[in-house]
Chain A
Amino acid sequence: MDQLQTLFDGYIDFEGQKLADRLTNVLLILSGLIAWIVGFVLQDLRYTVYIGLGGTALTFLVVVPPWPMYNKHPLTWLPVDYDDKKEKKGH
């Protein structure tokens, strides 16, 4: 159940977020561009709609699930220092 929760939350590290953001922009702009060009050259709006929607679906598949490539740079936390806590309690 815990694993399911982690999967649903889909947390990724900061480098992964940067990559996800860049991929979103590149993939969506590319699919829009290709969709428009193909539709204009072939003079058929169907190509524009299908390529545009297909590219968007691809973008969703690539960016939304927490793939391992987005977790290549996990945060390294400092180890807990128990001595410090004892000193603060005796305040």
Chain B
Amino acid sequence: MHSTIVRIQNVFGFFTTVAFFVAFFTALSVVLYPASPTATVDVVSVKVIKGRPQYYSSKQQEYAFITFDLDADLESLYNWNTKQVFCWLSVVYGGGKGTKHVSARLPSSGTH
């Protein structure tokens, strides 16, 4: 601690140590707040249309329009250490003969 530079180094070094422990105990305290989110999804209507990706393309594809009701309670996910909540909608549908079930995930992440 004999010169200014040494004092700066010591203070900063101890600050990083203290910051680490504060962050550690913050993360540990989250255990007291278990998350229990709920969600219900009701499909209202499914429409399958044959169309093209661009007006002049020759490739024809099937397009599905799904209307659904979503009721989700994500309040319990938000504790004091929450920085980002990641949620997604998963669509499972059957194909034609000989194809297996496939699912598409549409993620959306929101920041607190």
Interface residues of A (CB under 8 A from B): 8-12, 16-17, 20-21, 24-25, 28-29, 31-32, 35-36, 39-40, 42-45, 48, 52, 56, 59-60, 63-66
Main secondary structure of the interface of B (DSSP, over half): helix
Main secondary structure of the interface of A (DSSP, over half): helix
User: Are B3 and A9 within 8 A (Cβ)?
Assistant: yes
Most buried by A among B8, B19, B26, B80: B80
User: Are A52 and B22 within 8 A (Cβ)?
Assistant: yes
Specify the chain B residue showing the minimal Cβ separation from A21: B1
Task: Report, nearest first, the 9 A-B pairs whose CB atoms are least far apart.
Answer: A10-B4, A17-B1, A32-B18, A43-B80, A20-B1, A64-B7, A56-B15, A32-B22, A28-B18
